[in-house]
Amino acid sequence: MSETLPPCPECSSEYTYALDSLLVCPECAHEWTAAATADDASAEASAEIKDAVGNVLQDGDSVTIVKTMKVKGAQSALKAGTKVRNIRLAPGSGDHDIFAKVDGFGPMELKSSIVKKI
């Protein structure tokens, strides 16, 4: 058998074996399909958050706002060109995938489609 099976996604055991169409871990009794393993790998690859230009963002980056936007509850709008430092990424939290503290506005969630990496 030249095929190597992936480790268990639950306990990372390397002693997995195939049982019909399932993969089974003998240590924790977790069962999963091989397609689920491939889906997880593609989900991790697509979990990269990109800015409006296509640059990959990371925690701690500095960005600028590229589009003036209204902020609910604030008297003024968040203007294009506003710099935001030390962002935190939150993949999988819907459209607003960046947490940041904007000077003059306080903490807020931003969409990656309206920011550009500096």
Residue 55, token pair as written in the block: 């640059």
Strand 83-84 to 63-65 pairing: antiparallel
What pLDDT is recorded for position 12?
A: 86
What pLDDT is recorded for position 61?
A: 94
What pLDDT is recorded for position 43?
A: 56
Mean pLDDT computed over every residue of the chain:
86
Using 50 as the pLDDT threshold, list the residues of the chain that sit under it.
Answer: 1-2
- Report the candidate in 61, 73, 71 with the shortest Cα–Cα distance to residue 99: 61
Rounded to 5 degrees, what are φ and ψ at 34? -65, -30
